[in-house]
């Protein structure tokens, strides 16, 4: 019987075999950490692991916030740091644990820009709250020429990273933006992986449980903006997929309106350790420079706008529409009757109604006490102005 010819793959494999390799030979290398199944099952997660949501940002984790240039990633991350430090919710997501030590390293925001944001953001807080923030928020200031260079491809700059983290010992590091930190080519997986590895090592040497938040640019253009949501959300970030793969959480930020830069869309691009959050619209409060949940946001209408298919059609249904509708009925409504009435009134699908109601419950604008059959407006919803009445009137 003739021996089959070796395939190209087999020949290539044999060409890589090291004839001197001996698996039984002793080595000084440290083996991987291996656990039994009982060890995994008996492990108890520390009570203070979560920083944001139910696992969106955890100690020792890597999260990415991606969006087009100018969409507000830096301000978004600063708001998160302020909210977590003060123990208050962040754009509808719960923050957890004691105040972390937040350190922002980045070279795109001037001192003028940072002062403007901080003055507005802190205007809503007491002296005691600002004192807490003073102890827990630290940001790079672009003072000297050397401050503008943060690439890990330069050994002297890398030494500055190491020294800064060892001096300030943050528990959360915000790196902004990844493209300026990168050592190499954004399109090459190996360069991106090596940069992530270098950044992670520097962070872990300062604190083994340091959380890392990387701010990164997304691709521009109408079709790319649409990829912030849906099946293609993994394609939203610019460059190699290695960063997306390494992150446990990816938050996508996209423009919400081509003529209104204060509106953005926040979606969950990836969530390995937590349930994905629903896509929401956010609107920048010009007084506080804080992003707030936009109850008038309609995902379907936004997608149609971006794709050029809307042609002037009005949005189908918003949470604010439902608040106004229930308010007009006295502040409460039978759940089943409400769904039927909304479908008829706004000519939308039952699926859209269910989704808007879910958003309203999520953000605590609705409650369904006792048997759960009647939807009531909460005090939070009553504090909002109706969009359908005179400015000097209140619908509640």
- Give the CATH number for residue 288: 3.40.50.300
- Compute the C-alpha angle 79/84/90, nearest 5°: 55
Q: Which of 304, 329, 361 is the last residue of a domain?
A: 304
Which residue has tokens 């923030």?
Answer: 133
Tokens of residue 6, six digits = 């070796």
Whether 234 and 171 map to the same domain: the answer is yes
Q: Is residue 377 part of a domain?
A: yes
Whether 225 and 264 map to the same domain: the answer is yes
Whether 290 and 345 map to the same domain: the answer is no
Q: Answer yes or no: are the C-beta atoms of 342 and 348 closer than 8 Å.
A: yes
Which residue segment(s) compose the domain that 145 sits in? 50-304
pLDDT in tens, the chain (396 residues): 455 555 565 555 555 666 676 666 667 788 889 999 999 999 998 878 999 998 999 999 999 999 999 999 999 999 999 999 999 999 999 999 999 999 999 999 999 999 999 999 999 999 999 999 999 999 999 999 999 999 999 999 999 999 999 999 999 999 999 999 999 999 999 999 999 999 999 999 999 999 999 999 999 888 899 999 988 898 999 999 999 999 999 999 999 988 788 999 999 999 998 888 989 999 999 999 999 999 888 888 898 888 876 545 556 688 888 888 888 888 888 888 888 888 888 877 777 788 788 888 878 888 888 677 888 888 888 776 444 433 333 322
Q: Is residue 22 part of a domain?
A: no
Whether 125 and 258 map to the same domain: the answer is yes
Phi and psi (nearest 5°) for 44? Answer: -115, 125
The per-residue b/e assignment along 124-152, b for 16 or more CB within 10 angstroms, e otherwise, is ebeeebeebbeebbbbbebeeeeeeebbb
Whether 295 and 326 map to the same domain: the answer is no
Counting Cα atoms < 13 Å in the Cβ hemisphere of 361 gives: 13
Q: Is residue 334 part of a domain?
A: yes
Q: What are the residues facing 249 on neighbouring strands?
A: 63, 271
* Helix and strand totals (H; E) in the chain: 15, 14
Q: Is residue 11 part of a domain?
A: no
Whether 191 and 59 map to the same domain: the answer is yes
Q: Answer yes or no: are the C-beta atoms of 210 and 204 closer than 8 Å.
A: yes
Q: What is the largest CA-CA distance in the chain?
A: 96
Q: Which of 248, 279, 304 is the last residue of a domain?
A: 304
Residues in the chain: 396
Whether 142 and 262 map to the same domain: the answer is yes
Q: By C-alpha distance, which of 313, 314, 308, 299 is closest to 223?
A: 308
Whether 326 and 298 map to the same domain: the answer is no
Counting Cα atoms < 13 Å in the Cβ hemisphere of 207 gives: 21
Q: Is residue 20 part of a domain?
A: no
Q: Answer yes or no: are the C-beta atoms of 136 and 101 closer than 8 Å.
A: yes
Cα 81 from Cα 103, distance rounded (Å): 9
pTM attached to this predicted model: 0.77
Cα 17 from Cα 25, distance rounded (Å): 16
Cα 79 from Cα 291, distance rounded (Å): 8
Whether 283 and 322 map to the same domain: the answer is no
Cα 261 from Cα 293, distance rounded (Å): 15
Q: Is residue 284 part of a domain?
A: yes
């Amino acid at each position: 019987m003739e021996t089959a010819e070796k395939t190209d793959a087999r020949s290539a494999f044999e060409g890589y075999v090291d004839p001197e390799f001996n698996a039984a030979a002793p080595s000084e290398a440290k083996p991987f950490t291996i656990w039994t199944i009982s060890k995994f099952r008996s492990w108890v997660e520390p009570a203070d692991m979560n920083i944001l949501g139910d696992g969106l940002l955890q100690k020792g984790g890597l999260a990415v916030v991606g969006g087009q240039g100018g969409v507000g990633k830096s301000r978004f991350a600063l708001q998160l740091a302020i909210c977590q430090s003060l123990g208050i919710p962040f754009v509808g997501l719960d923050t957890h644990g004691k105040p972390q030590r937040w350190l922002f390293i980045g070279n795109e925001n001037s001192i003028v820009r940072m002062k403007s944001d901080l003055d507005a953001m802190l205007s809503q807080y007491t002296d005691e709250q600002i004192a807490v923030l003073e102890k827990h928020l630290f940001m790079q200031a672009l003072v000297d020429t050397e401050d503008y260079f943060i690439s890990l491809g330069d050994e002297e700059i890398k030494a500055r990273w190491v020294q800064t983290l060892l001096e300030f010992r943050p528990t959360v590091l915000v790196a902004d933006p990844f493209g300026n930190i990168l050592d190499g080519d954004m399109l090459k997986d190996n360069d991106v992986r090596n940069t992530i590895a270098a950044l992670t090592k520097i962070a872990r040497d300062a604190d083994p449980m340091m959380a890392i938040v990387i701010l990164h640019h997304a691709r521009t253009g109408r079709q790319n903006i649409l990829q912030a949501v849906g099946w293609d959300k993994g394609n939203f970030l610019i460059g190699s997929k290695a960063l997306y793969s390494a992150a446990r959480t990816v938050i996508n930020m996209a423009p919400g309106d081509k003529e209104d830069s204060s509106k953005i869309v926040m979606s969950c691009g990836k969530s390995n350790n937590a349930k994905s959050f629903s896509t929401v619209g956010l609107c920048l409060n010009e007084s506080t420079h804080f992003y707030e949940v936009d109850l008038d946001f309609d995902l379907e209408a936004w997608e149609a706008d971006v794709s050029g298919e809307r042609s002037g059609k009005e949005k189908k249904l918003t949470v604010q529409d439902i608040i106004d509708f229930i308010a007009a009925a006295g502040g409460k409504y039978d759940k089943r009757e409400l769904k039927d009435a909304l479908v008829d009134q706004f000519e939308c699908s039952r699926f859209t109604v269910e989704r808007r109601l879910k958003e309203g419950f999520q953000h605590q604008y609705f409650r369904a006490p006792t048997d759960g059959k009647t939807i009531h407006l909460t005090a939070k919803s009553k504090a909002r102005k109706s969009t359908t009445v005179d400015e000097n009137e209140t619908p509640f």
